Amino acid sequence: MTELSIVPAGAGAGKTHHIQETLTQWVREGKVRPERILAVTFTEAAAGELRQRIRGALVADGNLQAALAVERAYVSTIHGLGRRLLVEHAFAAGSSPQQRLIAEDEQDLLIRRSIAENEALNELSRNLGAHGYRGSFTSDDTAEDSFRKTLLGVIALLRTLGPRGGDPAMADFVEASIRKGYRQPVGTSEALAAALQKAVGALLLAFPRSLADDAGSAAAKTAFRDNFRALKQAEQLLSSGRKDWRSWQRLRDLRQSKRGSPTPDGYDDLAGAVMAAADTLAYHPGPLEDAVSHARALVEGAQSAMADYETRKRELGVIDFGDMVTNAARIAMRPSAPLRSAQER
């Protein structure tokens, strides 16, 4: 049969019922023998329910022979089917038929070792703060934990792509996508930084202390205090040549004169100049280049770590849940796949 139906639906939408009705109807019409049914789901419970529903519908039809034959049908999870293919066609795939499913803690250890020994990621991991990785005050997660979670997410995503996930051109594709979605840069990083540094310096020279003490409301006091802290931090960063785009972002919205909390003469103009200089962040070339280098490092590092992880698994003779799907798909897609030959016979 070459008929293909795609039914996109969320949880609880009736996918299992639809599959059961379709398979039952095929049996009724003689399109497929009950024992030749192959159906996959995501959980063992759903697989058992699907088999029971098909059998029950055939019993209701009075077709007891077909209902009994359903017991010989293969109804399983997607991972169960994948593992069966890997075992039955192991030699053709060049692997052991007795591969062990790796435990979750073993998998985590192998991936961590692959990451730790990965030169492509060392430069990135040495400067996590510059790429936005921070620890959490609400949990025990560190910047390293945040980075590792992001990297593991990239690895998981690449693995779902099968062989394409390891394609060296993937990093180029990611870079092109980022550049396409980013506003065309204007100016140079040095000139834009110098302009902001000049504006910040002029404001702090004219008003060397926070306006919070003279503010007329609690909200104004908080805003002026935060603004002054952001200005001082930016002054230090800019003078040292360090990059922190969050610092630029904080300077894009400074408190100015409002009813009940007027500012001294000249403050609003100087603050406006700072905000105008900081607003160049929207088309600053620096964040774009940082985003590109960050993304490339993640993709290339993830691919390298992924390749090392695969090597370690082969040496240990183990597979993980992802292998049950991707490796089985690779076997089924081979032009001379044993599975295809068996079906033809």
For residue 140, count CB atoms less than 10 angstroms from its CB and return exposed for 0-12, middle for 13-18, buried for 19 or more.
exposed
Residue 33 backbone dihedrals phi, psi, to 5 degrees: -80, 145
Instruction: Please report the pLDDT score of residue 344 as a whole number.
Output: 33
**15-95+335-344 belongs to which homologous superfamily?**
P-loop containing nucleotide triphosphate hydrolases (3.40.50.300)
Which residues in the chain land under pLDDT 70?
1-3, 93-94, 96, 120, 334-345
- Angstrom distances, CA of residue 69 to CA of 59, 65, 327: 11, 6, 30
- Angstrom distances, CA of residue 207 to CA of 186, 191, 268, 271: 31, 24, 11, 10
Structure tokens at 61: 């039809």
Which residue's structure tokens are 């160049």?
280
Structure tokens at 95: 């692997």
Instruction: Please report the pLDDT score of residue 2 as a whole number.
Output: 60
Instruction: Please report the pLDDT score of residue 150 as a whole number.
Output: 87
> 41: which strand partners?
77
Instruction: Please report the pLDDT score of residue 253 as a whole number.
Output: 94
| CA–CA distance, 336 with 89 (Å, rounded to integer) | 12
E strand intervals along the chain: 38-41, 74-77, 100-101, 318-319
Q: What is the pLDDT of residues 45-88, one digit of tens each?
A: 888 888 999 999 899 989 899 899 988 988 888 888 888 887 77
Instruction: Please report the pLDDT score of residue 234 as a whole number.
Output: 95
CA 315, chain centre distance (Å): 28
Q: What is the pLDDT of residues 173-195, one digit of tens each?
A: 999 999 998 888 999 999 999 99
Give the chain's mean pLDDT: 84
Domain segments of the chain as ranges:
15-95+335-344, 100-183+287-316, 189-283
Q: pTM of the entire structure?
A: 0.65
**Closest C-alpha to 303, from 153, 155, 177, 99:** 155
